[in-house]
Amino acid sequence: MAKATKKQALGRGLSALLKDPANDIKSVEDKNADKVVGNIVELELAAIEVNPFQPRTSFNEETLRELASSIKELGVIQPITVRKIAFNKYQLVSGERRFRASKLIGLETIPAYIRIANDQESLEMALVENIQRQDLDPIEIALSYQRLIEEIQITQEALSERVGKNRSTVTNYLRLLKLDPIIQTGMRDGFISMGHGRALINIEDTSQQLDIYEKVVSQSLSVRDTEALVRNFKNPETKSAAAVKELPHFARKGTGELSTLLDTNVSIKASEKGKGHIVVPFKNEADFQRILNLIKSEK
């Protein structure tokens, strides 16, 4: 979760900037406006009001509690969008369910994109430029596509032209946002690829998605193996020739033990004869050193 931590730290810094009366940003022409447009900012929930013209007036309490539970465990994966209406005062543009669910569990701040006066063109430029970066994960790209569609109000066809991608590519990214939030987080942390996500999206029930996702991660399944697993799940009577093999008992048991010991999602691949390899993921240099120290201490 190193990426999320970095973004949240940046968001808190921008939040402090926005609460400084000497740096009140009202337009894209103002000083430091470029630091706000297109970036995620941690805003106090108390500084945000709902849009009185929001067409949606009723919210399902059960699904709101489910979302609140997800946010409590994983945080707000998709930032809300607000419009700056006065100094340190904002109005919701989109994300009211995330806003309400966050208040429900007592959060004080929420990640947000801030819209300011005459920033339409700047916002579009910032988003398109952001999408062209090489270090974005598939979910970050999907969220940027969604923002362009919702806030710039363009079609997928027009969006594909703006970003220089085929429409099918844009559609495939957007479909990833239908995955369970836990799976989206796994993709952002590099435990699975976009190919894995595209296979899992064919399972409509999110609890069943999660069951398969856990197998994919624990057994380090390839995209092809995952596709076979999904096919067999949807058509249990038709066994695929590429059916996924179960790990030997010692490897299944060892996966959990190693994951607990190293506090990371260790994966193991092993043949029936017992030959295989172990993959230990790390988030950054500091996390690598932490894992290395743990291994050394077990000697």
Q: Cα 256 to the chain's mean position, in Å?
A: 25
- Catalytically active residues, by annotation: 96
Taking the C-alpha atoms of residue 297 and residue 85, their distance in angstroms, rounded to an integer, is 55
N- to C-terminal Cα separation, the chain: 28
What angle do the packed helices 167-175 and 156-163 form, to 10 degrees?
Answer: 110
Length of the chain: 299
Taking the C-alpha atoms of residue 4 and residue 75, their distance in angstroms, rounded to an integer, is 10
Contact (CB, 8 A) for 220 and 279: yes
Which tokens sit at 123? 């916002």
Contact (CB, 8 A) for 89 and 47: yes
Residues 6+ apart with CB under 8 A from 126: 37, 38
Contact (CB, 8 A) for 252 and 278: no
Residues 6+ apart with CB under 8 A from 246: 252
